[in-house]
């Protein structure tokens, strides 16, 4: 009976918590691809800014692609500012695969808050708002200005969002010094901390060959060349996979991943096509020369029979990782806060790609960190959820970290 009563009281405490209420309200906004409308998100964030006695600035770099900036001025207006970044958009859902509707923000009796974006990454945006609310309530004044940025289209590459935003005069005027963006969950009693990302090579191989009747044995067909190229790409994939399996110190962010994602070509079952296309999603590790890797792809094309051209949907440039040493005072402060809380963190290269790559391109140090440990990794998955206690603990963790880096 006591246990049941305790659970009921705990649930009521979560349900009445302001930060959890804000989180659930945000999750109910279906800012989902494709064709996202961000109007509800913008209005939601305007209301949050008012509740914090702050202003929300909206920069529409491209039509329908707003960047919302909520700023809290620090005591030293000349000091480079801190960016607390999150994205408003979420990936598509298969509602029939969910236990609870994906935009209901349902919280069960155990405290699991279900919703698309609960881990990736509306939680982080609301936690940043909660940090400002808590610090203002305590009468704290930070040295550096905080800019909470809420950007569009991260889930589809950020080209019309963060990529174009960093090219604007307004971005430059905000005088950036350091940024914190998303990480992702981990089931262990440790926290992931990302200081760099792999290079994306999303490559389309257009393979030309001899066309003709399907009953003949023609030479140099597109299909033959495609098979040879596929073998080379998959052999490389297997080599990298074995490297990961045989070295427990490595994470997936330390190797190069190769995945065949699309195959197209042909118009009829008995016609040998003049061209086929193979698309590979390739994430190149930071310790590999991109020039050498691109040359290797061209070599494999020639070895597969030639007549193959490569077109890249995405081809990221070389970007320096954020230094995690004494030369980076923001890292020193970040680590000091983490150590103060006795948190175990695992610095690593992010296997995916986030908007902070556009900041690192400009030399702005940035760390990806979402305080979600002992949590199943459910970003982009069905039944994505975050536990209420994990969410609330994350606010306390961010509060220490943000206070430390903003007072550097």
Q: Would you please indicate which residues are annotated as catalytic (active-site) residues?
A: 89, 154
- Token pair for 31: 């800012």
d(CA 375, CA 393): 13
Overall residue count recorded for the chain in this entry: 408
3-state secondary structure the chain: CHHHHHHHHHHHHHHHCHHHHHHHHHHCCCCECCCCCCHHHHHHHHHHHHHCCCCEEEEEEECCEEEEEEEECCCCCCCCEEEEEEECCECCCCHHHCCCCCCCCCECCCCEEECCCCCCCHHHHHHHHHHHHHHHHCCCCCCCCEEEEEECCHHHCCCCCHHHHCCCHHHHHCCEEEEEECCCCCCCCCEEEEEEECEEEEEEEEEECCCEECCCCCCCCHHHHHHHHHHHHHHHHHHHHHHHHHCCCCCHHHCCEEEEEEEEECCCCCEECCEEEEEEEEEECCCCCHHHHHHHHHHHHHHCCCCEEEEEEEECCCCCCCCCCCCCHHHHHHHHHHHHCCCCEEEEEECCCCCHHHHHCCCCCEEECCCCCCCCCCCCCCCCEEEHHHHHHHHHHHHHHHHHHHCC
């Amino acid at each position: 009976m006591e246990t049941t009563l305790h659970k009921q009281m705990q649930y009521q405490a979560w349900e009445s918590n302001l930060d959890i209420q804000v989180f659930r309200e945000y999750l109910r906004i279906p800012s989902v691809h494709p064709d996202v409308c961000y109007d509800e998100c913008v209005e939601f964030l305007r209301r949050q800014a008012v509740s914090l006695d702050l202003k929300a600035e909206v920069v529409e770099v491209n039509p329908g692609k707003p960047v919302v900036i909520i700023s809290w001025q620090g005591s030293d207006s000349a000091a480079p500012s801190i960016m607390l970044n999150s994205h408003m958009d979420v990936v598509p859902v298969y509602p029939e695969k969910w236990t609870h509707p994906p935009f209901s923000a349902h919280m069960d009796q155990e405290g699991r808050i279900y919703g698309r974006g609960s881990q990736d990454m509306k939680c982080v945006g609301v936690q940043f708002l909660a940090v400002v609310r808590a610090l203002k309530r305590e009468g704290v004044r930070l040295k550096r200005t905080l800019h909470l940025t809420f950007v569009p289209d991260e889930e589809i590459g950020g080209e019309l969002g963060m990529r174009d935003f960093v090219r604007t005069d307004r971005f430059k005027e905000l005088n950036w010094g350091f940024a914190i963006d998303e990480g992702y969950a981990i089931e262990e009693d440790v926290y992931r901390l990302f200081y760099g990302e792999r290079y994306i090579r999303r490559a389309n191989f257009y393979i030309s060959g001899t066309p003709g009747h399907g009953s003949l044995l023609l030479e140099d067909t597109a299909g033959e060349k495609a098979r040879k190229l596929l073998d080379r790409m998959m052999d490389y994939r297997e080599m990298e996979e074995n490297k990961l399996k045989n070295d427990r110190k490595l994470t997936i962010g330390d190797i190069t991943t190769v995945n065949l994602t699309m195959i197209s070509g042909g118009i009829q079952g008995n016609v040998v096509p003049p061209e086929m296309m193979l698309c590979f999603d390739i994430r190149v590790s930071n310790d590999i020369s991109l020039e050498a890797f691109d040359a290797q792809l061209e070599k494999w094309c020639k070895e597969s029979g030639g007549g193959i051209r490569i077109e890249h949907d995405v081809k990221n440039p070389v970007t320096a990782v954020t230094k995690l040493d004494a030369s980076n005072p923001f890292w020193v402060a970040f680590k000091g806060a983490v150590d103060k809380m006795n948190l175990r963190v695992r610095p690593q290269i992010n296997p995916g790609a986030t908007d902070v790559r556009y900041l690192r391109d400009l030399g702005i140090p940035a760390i990806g960190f979402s305080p979600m440990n002992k949590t199943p990794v459910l970003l982009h998955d069905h039944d994505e959820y975050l536990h209420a206690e994990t969410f609330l603990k994350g606010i306390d963790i961010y509060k220490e970290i943000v206070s430390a880096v903003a007072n550097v």
